[in-house]
Each structure stands twice: as structure tokens, then as C-alpha cells.
A and B are shown apart, each in its own frame.
Chain A
Amino acid sequence: MIVLGIESTAHTFGVGIVDSSSEKFIIADEREQYIPKHGGIHPREAARFFAEKGPIVVGRALASANIDIDRIDGIAIALGPGLGPCLRIGATIARALSIYFRKPLIPVNHAVAHIEIGLKLTNLSDPVIIYLSGGNTAIVAYIDKRYRIFGETLDIALGNLLDTFAREVGLGPPYVINGVHVVDRCAESGRRIVRDLPYVVKGQDVAFSGLLTAALRMYKNGVDLNDLCLTLREIAYNSILEVGARCLMHTRKSEVMVVGGVAASPILREKLEILAKIYSAKLGIVPPRYAVDNGVMIAWMGVLEMYSGITIEPERALVNQRWRLDEVDVIWR
């Protein structure tokens, strides 16, 4: 089965084509990333960028897969969660392709797609999932036909914390250079732990906005930036590890998987390796290229859903900015 998947939930417009019967599996993987001139993602600007690039990226994907669109069995589209204006561009393109070429349209939850491509690439079967990206921080486990959110951030996401801190103190953008976040890099020269930064773990949930505010206030008061980066990072990562360990103990699962943009962090990876050893769990880290937003994961999700008969009429395929991953019935497992 060959499915073309479109991702346009935040800053990346990605088109992937997956052939489930081919050895190669991924037969096209094209992306364009919107990089704001300053500040964070402006949804309308990102959408404008997508509208310009979208059709070109679709064309590039078909060309690089070297197949005619007739051979494609379905069009998969990430309908949420994400930024409304961005989602709508992808959805419009997907609906148009579906109607014009008479291909079934497959609705995909972006967060579930992150998990499924992770499972496929790490060969894990039933891990505790640590989902860390710019917009999401959640500890997830598969229980009773759904991916359940065991714990999550009560305010901002981990990626959001790191990026905003970097931006406010002048370390970024860009936030990630050669696969290392600028806050991680800045922390390398940190020597001591700054006292009195808040560490917030509430049961199974974490919260970062207080940490961000306190760290920025200390920076303005002249506390050494390298020390601040080190402390901020250690507190943030460790709170996630703590919740992850709690989930591991609670669910008695024996695997851990990290997905999402922040999964690429080598520092976090190192910590997780130690954690996995303590709990004798197997650790799987999704390769950075597929841990970040991409079209391939949407296409792969499309394959899974199509095998289970999940498609949607184009006129019903509306975007849903707040489509929680625990609302999706996992009938393909």
C-alpha cells in the first residue's frame, strides 16, 4: 500500500510517501520549514509560507518517489492538534488532492503519528512514551485500546521553555545548532547549580512556566548565564525523568521511547540511558530526522489506518486544533 501524508501542524510543511510493501518503506520525504525572522511562530505568517510552498513540496515528493499519483492508495492528513491557520493549509491541499484524484482521505492525529512512526523505527512494542516537542510534553502509555496521558505539562511545553529562555537571553534563534539545543550548549560551561529555582512536579504532571519566569528574573539580576542554563536544563529534564520513572513503575512496562523534537537532545539521551538501566528497561530513541515533525509519520499512520478501514469524507475533514491524542481509538493495534 502506498500512502502520501501531509504534515502542516506548526512550522514544518512535510510531505512523505510510504510504501508498506517495499523494502525501502520511505519512498519520499520532503519538507519546508518556516523560520520566523524574530520571536516565535506567527500562525498566519507560517500559514502564508505553507500556502506558497505546499504545492511545490507535494510535487517534489512525487518526483523524488518517482511515481505517478495514480499509484497512490490514499492521502493522509494531520488534522490536529496544531495551529489553526497552518492546519487549514495542509487540510485544504489534502482535500483537494483527495477529491480531484479520487483517493480516499485519511484523518491523522499528529501526536499519535509521532508515536506510531517511533514504534516502527525503534522496534519497541509497548513502551512508556515520553513525548517532548515545542508544543507538547506528555508521558503516554498504551492501555486498553488508547494511548493514555499519564502525565503532562500543566502550562508550557519543554521545547517552549528552552526556546523561550534562549530567545529572551539572546542565545537564539536558531535554537538548535548541529543537533544540540543552544541552552544545552550554554550549559556546558555552567559550573554550579543556581539555588532557589522552582522544581515543580505535581503527582504525575510537571509545570515549567514558574521555572522560566524565575530563571529570567535571575538572569536580569546578573546571575551567570551558563550556570542558569545548566540549572534550568537539569531541573526541566529531571522533572520529566521523574514522571517517566513513575509511569514506568505504575504501568510495569519494560520499554521507554522518546519522541518529538526535543528527543534529539544528546544530554537527555544520556540521562535516559542511565534511567533505563536503573529500571532495567529497554530504551528506544526515535532518529532525530523522524522525531521532529515530518510527512513520513503522517503517511505511515495513513497506512495503519487504511488497513483498519479508517477514512473520512473530504467535506467532514475539518481541522481540530485541540485534538488530544487520548481521544483516538487505537484499532490498528
Chain B
Amino acid sequence: MEIELPELLKNMIREKLYIYADDIKSIDILSEPLILSIGAEAYILRSRFMGIESVIKWRFPKPYMPPELDREFRSVRTETEAKIMWKSLLIGVKTSVPLYVDIDNAIIIMTYIEGNTLRELVKQTEDEELCKVCHEIGVYTAKMHMNGISHGDLTTSNVLIDSRERQVYLIDFGLASFGRRAEDYAIDIHIFFRSIESAHIAREKIMKECFLDGYEAISGSGEVSKMLRIVNDIRKRGRYVAERKLKSEWRSL
């Protein structure tokens, strides 16, 4: 896959940083990036930024949108994402650290976390360890919610376990937002549960229970039951869902 990098990144690749100490050292500002993946709205690239292993998230222009709307979306989302990453780090939610943010170009350069996604690891993880991880995700989620942040895409693919210290990281705050609506918080829980149900149904019980334990440890039990009530409401809202079905003699075919 070939992509045309924005001028900003091209320039950074050409530039060097000189450190004048006992001797003169030069470091590349940015090494030639490799494409890790292409998402719905951004390219994810792997690179070294001033000597630090990094990930570049570039929200590329969408030619099918009117340019002004496109620019606004990209810069607003980039700004919010960077702010939320900082805020999360401050309140004790582990995530990668933004090193460089350019709102006009919709670029965030952040530290690279060496590890695997929870989605990949669930199968081979023992119950006890899996519970610990989900407990930690519950703790992180409650901390974010207590601080007015909803993650917006809390799936097992967006949880990383780093390979050295087995620490739990939340990644991809691309759909995260600041707000005080309980509903947005419940949607985080709903999305997390749905990702468990769709990909790890055999471990459903332990993953959900440990997540809720972690959540409760931070938020208290009243908050948990309130959240679960809203989650149930949300589930009934999809179109034609079974729980809402009219009483009829229908039997599925």
C-alpha cells in the first residue's frame, strides 16, 4: 500500500536534531514511516520520533467530503483525542503518550507500545490473569467516566497488553469525547460487552464480572447498577430487537 504523506511529515523526515554536548550528536527527527494499518479515518504509521519508538496517527483528507467540513472534522477530532490522551494519563489510565500534536494537519505522534491486543490474547490467557486484565479495564473505564471522559470505542481490540511488563493499556481515543451524559458512559460498557459477546463468548462471564468489579471499585455499587440499567435500555433500542418483540406465536425458522 503506497500513500502520499503530508508535507509536514516529509519535512520532518528530512530534518535532523543536533545535540551539542561533549561531542556533537545528530538524531533524525523522524525516520521513514512504515504503514501499520489504514483505518476508517486515519493512517496508522510506525516510526521513530527523535529517537523514540512511535506511532503516527494521521487523519487523512477525505476527498468525498466538502473540504471545509473535512478539515473541521479532522482537526477537531485530533485536538479532542490529544486532550483526552493527556487527561487519561493524568488520572492514571495507561495509554500511549502524545509526543507531537499538529491540529491543522491532523497528526498525532505518540509512543509505541510493544505488545498484543486483548482480542488476540484472550484465548491463551488463564482465568486469573484474564480477570486481572478485565478488572483493570473496569478501573480505567470508571476513572475516565468519573472525569467526564467516554472512550467511544471500548473493544478488546483497543486494549493492549505490553509484552515486557504485562501492563494494561487503553488505546485509540479517536472516538472519545468529554461530556457528562451517563448515557455515553453506558455506551462504553455496552460496546465492551458487545465485543466480548461477538469475539470471546466462551469467556463472557469472567470477563464481564471482573470488568464490573473493577468499575465498582472506583465508582461504587450504586453507580454500577445505574450504568447496567442504562446499558439494558440501550440494548432494547436497536431496530427490531428480540427483547422488544411483540407477543406473537412466531417461532424462528
**Stretch in contact with the other chain, from A11-19, A44-52, A269-277:** A269-277
**Stretch in contact with the other chain, from A114-122, A198-206, A257-265:** A198-206
Whether A175 sits at the interface, judged by CB under 8 Å, is: no
Q: How far is the CB of B251 from chain A (nearest CB, A)?
A: 8
The answer for the CA separation of A327 and B252 in the assembled complex, in Å, is: 8
CB distance A153 to B64 under 8 Å?
Answer: no
Q: How far is the CB of A321 from chain B (nearest CB, A)?
A: 7
CB distance A324 to B69 under 8 Å?
Answer: no
CB distance B175 to A202 under 8 Å?
Answer: yes
Within 8 A of B (CB), among A276-333: 278-279, 310, 312, 316, 318, 320-324, 327-329
Contact A320-B69, Cβ < 8 Å, known A203-B175, A275-B64: no
Whether A241 sits at the interface, judged by CB under 8 Å, is: yes
CB distance B64 to A136 under 8 Å?
Answer: no
- Residue of A155, A193, A329 most packed against chain B (CB within 10 A): A193
**Stretch in contact with the other chain, from B133-141, B221-229, B239-247:** B239-247
Residues 135-169 of chain B, each 1 if its beta carbon lies under 8 Å from chain A, else 0: 00000000000000000110100000000000000
Contact A323-B38, Cβ < 8 Å, known A199-B73, A203-B152: no
**Stretch in contact with the other chain, from A2-10, A30-38, A218-226, A242-250:** A242-250
Residues 109-153 of chain A, each 1 if its beta carbon lies under 8 Å from chain B, else 0: 000000000000000000000000000101000000000000011
CB distance A322 to B40 under 8 Å?
Answer: no
Residue ID in chain B nearest A81 by CB atoms: B240
CB distance B246 to A322 under 8 Å?
Answer: yes
B interface SS class:
loop
CB distance A318 to B248 under 8 Å?
Answer: yes
Residue ID in chain A nearest B157 by CB atoms: A250
Whether A1 sits at the interface, judged by CB under 8 Å, is: no
CB distance B66 to A152 under 8 Å?
Answer: no
Q: How far is the CB of B161 from chain A (nearest CB, A)?
A: 21
The answer for the CA separation of A246 and B42 in the assembled complex, in Å, is: 10
Chain A residue contacts of B64, Cβ below 8 A: 238, 241, 270-272, 274-275
- Residue of A246, A248, A310 most packed against chain B (CB within 10 A): A246
Chain B residue contacts of A186, Cβ below 8 A: none
Residue ID in chain A nearest B68 by CB atoms: A193
The answer for the CA separation of A324 and B244 in the assembled complex, in Å, is: 12
CB distance A203 to B239 under 8 Å?
Answer: no
CB distance A242 to B40 under 8 Å?
Answer: yes
Chain B residue contacts of A231, Cβ below 8 A: 69
The answer for the CA separation of A312 and B250 in the assembled complex, in Å, is: 12
CB contact between A249 and one of B38, B65, B69, B249 (< 8 Å): that residue: B38
Residues 186-216 of chain B, each 1 if its beta carbon lies under 8 Å from chain A, else 0: 0100010000000000000000000000000
CB distance A310 to B153 under 8 Å?
Answer: no
The answer for the CA separation of A248 and B240 in the assembled complex, in Å, is: 24
The answer for the CA separation of A324 and B239 in the assembled complex, in Å, is: 8
CB distance A242 to B237 under 8 Å?
Answer: no
CB distance A320 to B250 under 8 Å?
Answer: yes
Within 8 A of B (CB), among A149-165: 152-155
Residue ID in chain A nearest B177 by CB atoms: A202
Q: How far is the CB of B252 from chain A (nearest CB, A)?
A: 6
The answer for the CA separation of A322 and B152 in the assembled complex, in Å, is: 28
Residues 120-142 of chain B, each 1 if its beta carbon lies under 8 Å from chain A, else 0: 00000000000000000000000
Whether B90 sits at the interface, judged by CB under 8 Å, is: no
Q: List 27 A-B contacts (CB under 8 A).
A: A136-B239, A155-B237, A193-B66, A202-B152, A203-B187, A234-B65, A234-B66, A241-B62, A242-B40, A243-B40, A245-B39, A245-B41, A246-B39, A246-B40, A248-B40, A271-B65, A275-B64, A316-B251, A318-B250, A320-B248, A321-B246, A322-B241, A322-B242, A324-B239, A324-B240, A327-B252, A328-B253
Ordered nearest first, which 9 A-B pairs have the shortest CB separation? Answer: A322-B240, A246-B40, A271-B64, A245-B40, A274-B64, A324-B240, A320-B250, A193-B69, A203-B153
Q: Given contacts A193-B68, A231-B69, A241-B62, could you give 16 more A-B pairs where the C-beta distance is less than 8 Å?
A: A81-B239, A81-B240, A154-B238, A202-B175, A203-B187, A238-B64, A242-B41, A246-B39, A246-B40, A274-B63, A320-B248, A320-B250, A322-B242, A322-B246, A324-B239, A328-B253
